[in-house]
Structure 1
Amino acid sequence: MANAAGGTGESANVLCSRYGKKGTFIKLKKNFYILEQIWERYTQLEFFKIANFLQVPSYISCMSALSYYGITTQIQRNWYESISLRRSAKFEAKGTVFNYYKIRKEFYFGFLKEENFFIATREKAFLDAVYLHSFGKYPLDLSSIDVNSFDNETIVRLTEPYPQRTQQKIKEICRI
């Protein structure tokens, strides 16, 4: 914004703050604004990109990714879940929620870049959800997930570094 306005970072912050108060910009977090007039036209994929930018590093996962892959009957509207290394956090704007769940570094894998955003593979998204659920940090509706759509060999391989509690839960759910 500073470059576009031809000023300093400080003047850009003041300008963004003023436009935010007028309703021209939507403030998602400190120094992160979106034009209000195009907010309603954003697609799911554009919100995935925004989710990746709001907290770096992060990737789309859990039910958001499973919904993207068509593996769950739950269609999440205006709700985007991501896995992060930094911290668990929640950002809200105009009825849209961006949720971040912190996981340990050794579990931060199993994602790919797709259409300019990072998203978990289908098996990793499921594993992230079960891992968080097994420790009471995530509500998981197992009845809405088609567990037959996962590659069991991939699931077994991905669960190796995870705690025994998570491994047992995965084996129970997938009948491995």
Structure 2
Amino acid sequence: MDIFRINDLRKLFPDEANLKVAVKRMIDTGIIIPVARGIYTLKEESLDIENIATRLYYPSYISFESALSKYGIINQGLYGLTLATTRHSKKMILAGVDCEYCQIKGSLYTGYTLTNGTYLASPEKALLDLLYLHALGKRTINPTEWITDALNPKEIRGYLTKYPPAVENMVKELGLWK
């Protein structure tokens, strides 16, 4: 999916007044749709918010509740998208979807793959990322509702060496250290 910024359109319409009129007309006629302030995509393309979110605030990957929900580890309904980044934490709305970027240490920025243009944490990494935010006091968790049977304890132990001891203690308390 291609996204473009207002500066890209400015090359076609160098006069600021013409630019504003052209953008409004393209939106009104459905040629383009606004994704965020000054960011657009073509109407005929399907809107892949996850792909856009990982490209707009780079580096970032889908993690925390969003990834855990995708993998079926948590069943709570999600209304937004949660992403890990090494940049400052930030919230933005993309095409009506709340996107929350949560800062993690650079040493923790690992454990994700690129699938269909979207960066996504492994289930084990997403869980550890969420426990990390909880240890920092930035998230509340309800592990009694988690379905963790399919998690790979060996992969969890491999990532744990990068996390603070508080995360390792939570992993042991939750019985994920087998």
Seen in structure 2, the aligned counterparts of structure 1 residues 91 and 152 have a Cα distance that, compared at 3 Å, is same
CA–CA distance in structure 2, aligned partners of residues 12 and 138 of structure 1: 46
Picking from 73, 76, 93, the partner of 2:75 is: 73
Seen in structure 2, the aligned counterparts of structure 1 residues 101 and 12 have a Cα distance that, compared at 3 Å, is farther
* Structure with max Cα Rg: 2
CA–CA distance in structure 2, aligned partners of residues 16 and 141 of structure 1: 49
Match of 1:161 in 2: 162
Match of 2:88 in 1: 87
Q: TM-score, normalising length from structure 2?
A: 0.79
Given residue 151 of structure 1, which amino acid in structure 2 is its aligned partner?
N
Q: Is the CA contact (8 Å cut-off) linking 1:28 and 1:34 kept in structure 2?
A: no
Seen in structure 2, the aligned counterparts of structure 1 residues 5 and 71 have a Cα distance that, compared at 3 Å, is same
Q: CA deviation at 1:23?
A: 9.6
Aligned length: 169
CA–CA distance in structure 1, aligned partners of residues 138 and 25 of structure 2: 37
Q: Is the CA contact (8 Å cut-off) linking 1:133 and 1:140 kept in structure 2?
A: yes
Q: Is the CA contact (8 Å cut-off) linking 1:20 and 1:26 kept in structure 2?
A: no
Q: Is the CA contact (8 Å cut-off) linking 2:111 and 2:125 kept in structure 1?
A: yes
**What is the 5 A alignment of 1:113-152?**
113-152=114-153
Taking every aligned residue pair, what percent have the same amino acid on both sides? 25
CA–CA distance in structure 2, aligned partners of residues 68 and 155 of structure 1: 18
CA–CA distance in structure 1, aligned partners of residues 168 and 106 of structure 2: 18
1:48 matched to 2:50: yes
Q: Is the CA contact (8 Å cut-off) linking 1:79 and 1:98 kept in structure 2?
A: yes
Picking from 2, 6, 9, the partner of 2:12 is: 6
The runs of 5 or more residues in structure 2 that have no matched partner are none
Given residue 33 of structure 1, which amino acid in structure 2 is its aligned partner?
Y
Given residue 28 of structure 1, which amino acid in structure 2 is its aligned partner?
A
Q: Is the CA contact (8 Å cut-off) linking 1:20 and 1:27 kept in structure 2?
A: no
1:26 matched to 2:28: no
Q: Is the CA contact (8 Å cut-off) linking 1:58 and 1:82 kept in structure 2?
A: yes
**What is the 5 A alignment of 1:97-108?**
97-108=98-109
CA–CA distance in structure 2, aligned partners of residues 9 and 99 of structure 1: 35
Structure with greater proportional helix content: 1
The runs of 5 or more residues in structure 1 that have no matched partner are none
**CA RMSD across the alignment:** 3.1
Q: TM-score, normalising length from structure 1?
A: 0.80
SS across alignment from 1:161: coil
Picking from 52, 63, 66, the partner of 2:65 is: 63
